[in-house]
């Protein structure tokens, strides 16, 4: 892939809705990766040499600059994507040649699936790199790519990586976060203030540090909120805390090449009342193997500026590359 893979970025469209997205905040990975693609060594200026074509639409920017507060209409937001695809389809031959199969978009905002749905071939055919990788809402494992949601409070990974060994982790399991969605409601109802080994908080007291709690805990709860994605999964890997995934219909990132069962625990929503029993039943030897495996795989979730081999940018491109290998492009005008 590193020697052959080439991406053509359509230059049409003006920032901030195109070619730009904020690199800050909980959804900042969208802007970071869009920027990486724009300046990447994988980019080619010759569309005839490209394997894939990038649609530089920022759903985060659409939500910020196009969305009108208190207006629930989807059409103005969807029309940004629809008009852009219609424009490049009329100007260049590449979209029509494959009906979008060798094109991709990238977005971390929750609205991306709904916005892409307005463009039938984008939704059905194109590679959608999405944080909101919900298989019950149209995410297609065979063509779409799950993007991990990654929060960098300072805009980089300084101070985020690393934690004590298993022997220095005194808390069985930890979670802190708002009650967004039914899974978190069940979690709070069953475990908030119920057991000192199961540290479940809506909001942490000022005396407690969020990241310190990750580093003191063996397992960290990573529940879905309103949507399936959450940065806690990566925060757990960064700090050496084994992720416990409480998610329905979630497509795990990089599952083409990573065996998530070796470094995380899946707990079904119906089993939340048995959370402590499930975790304490895991043998210490198995827990240590998972914790060590998480430390080994976390480089694939690291965000580097500039990118480094095997980091999250390269893993996303590899996932796109794998899906592109399944596509045989033939000019529909020749059919």
Q: What is the pLDDT of residue 69?
A: 79
Torsion angle of C-alpha atoms 109, 111, 114, 115, degrees rounded to 10? -70
Across all residues in the chain, what is the average pLDDT? 95
- Residue 330: pLDDT band with limits 50, 70, 90: low
- Looking at the whole model, is its pTM more than 0.85? yes
Are the C-beta atoms of residues 195 and 151 closer than 8 Å to each other? no
Residue 72 has pLDDT above 90, yes or no: no
pLDDT at residue 332 tops 60: no
| % of the chain with per-residue pLDDT over 70 | 98
What is the per-residue pLDDT across 218-236, written as a single tens digit (0 to 9) for each?
999 999 999 999 999 999 9
Give the mean model confidence (pLDDT) for residues 138-159: 95
Q: What pLDDT sits at residue 331?
A: 58
Give CA–CA dist 109/255, Å, rounded: 21
For residue 333, the model assigns a pLDDT of 52
Strands (E), the chain: 7-9, 52-54, 103-107, 127-130, 145-146, 171-176, 198-201, 217-223, 242-246, 265-266
How far is the C-alpha of 134 from the C-alpha of 173, rounded, in Å?
Answer: 25
Contacts 24+ apart (CB under 8 A), 88-92: 88/10, 88/12, 88/55, 91/12, 92/10, 92/47
What would the mean pLDDT of 116-130 be, rounded to a whole number?
A: 97
Strand partners, 26: none
pLDDT tens by residue, 280-297: 999 999 999 999 999 999
Q: What phi and psi, each to the nearest 5 degrees, are found at residue 9?
A: -105, 120
- Predicted confidence (pLDDT) per residue in 314-325, tens digit: 999 999 999 999
Q: Is the dihedral of CA 267, 265, 230, 76 positive or negative?
A: negative
Q: pLDDT (tens digit, 9 = 90+) per residue, 265-277?
A: 999 999 999 999 9
Contact 240, 168 (CB under 8 A): no
What's the confidence (pLDDT) of residue 335? 45
Residue 53's pLDDT band (boundaries 50, 70, 90)?
very high
């Amino acid at each position: 892939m590193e020697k052959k893979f080439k991406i053509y970025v359509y230059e049409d469209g003006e920032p901030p809705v195109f070619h730009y997205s904020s690199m800050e905040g909980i959804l900042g990975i969208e802007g970071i990766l869009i920027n990486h693609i724009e300046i990447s060594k994988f980019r080619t200026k010759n569309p005839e040499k490209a394997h894939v074509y990038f649609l530089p639409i920022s759903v985060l920017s659409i939500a910020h600059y196009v969305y009108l507060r208190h207006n629930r209409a989807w059409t103005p937001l969807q029309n940004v994507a629809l008009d852009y695809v219609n424009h490049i389809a009329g100007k260049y031959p590449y979209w029509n040649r494959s009906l979008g199969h060798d094109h991709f978009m990238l977005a971390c905002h929750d609205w991306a699936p709904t916005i892409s749905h307005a463009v039938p071939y984008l939704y059905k055919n194109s590679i959608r790199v999405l944080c909101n990788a919900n298989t019950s809402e149209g995410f297609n494992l065979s063509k779409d790519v799950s993007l991990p949601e990654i929060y960098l409070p300072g805009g980089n990974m300084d101070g985020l990586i690393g934690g004590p060994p298993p022997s220095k982790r005194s808390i069985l399991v930890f979670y802190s976060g708002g009650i967004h969605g039914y899974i978190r409601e069940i979690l709070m109802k069953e475990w908030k203030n119920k057991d000192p080994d199961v540290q479940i908080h809506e909001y942490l007291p000022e005396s407690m540090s969020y990241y310190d709690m990750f580093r003191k805990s063996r397992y960290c709860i990573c529940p879905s909120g309103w949507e399936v994605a959450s940065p806690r999964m990566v925060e757990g890997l960064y700090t050496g805390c084994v992720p416990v995934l409480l998610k329905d219909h979630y497509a795990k990132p990089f599952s083409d090449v990573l065996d998530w069962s070796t470094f995380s625990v899946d707990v079904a929503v119906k089993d939340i009342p048995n959370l402590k029993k499930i975790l304490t039943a895991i043998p210490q030897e198995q827990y240590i193997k998972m914790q060590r495996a998480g430390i080994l795989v976390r480089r694939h979730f690291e965000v580097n500026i500039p990118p480094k081999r095997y980091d999250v940018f390269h893993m996303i491109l590899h996932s796109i590359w794998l899906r592109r290998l399944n596509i045989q492009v033939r000019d529909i005008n020749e059919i």
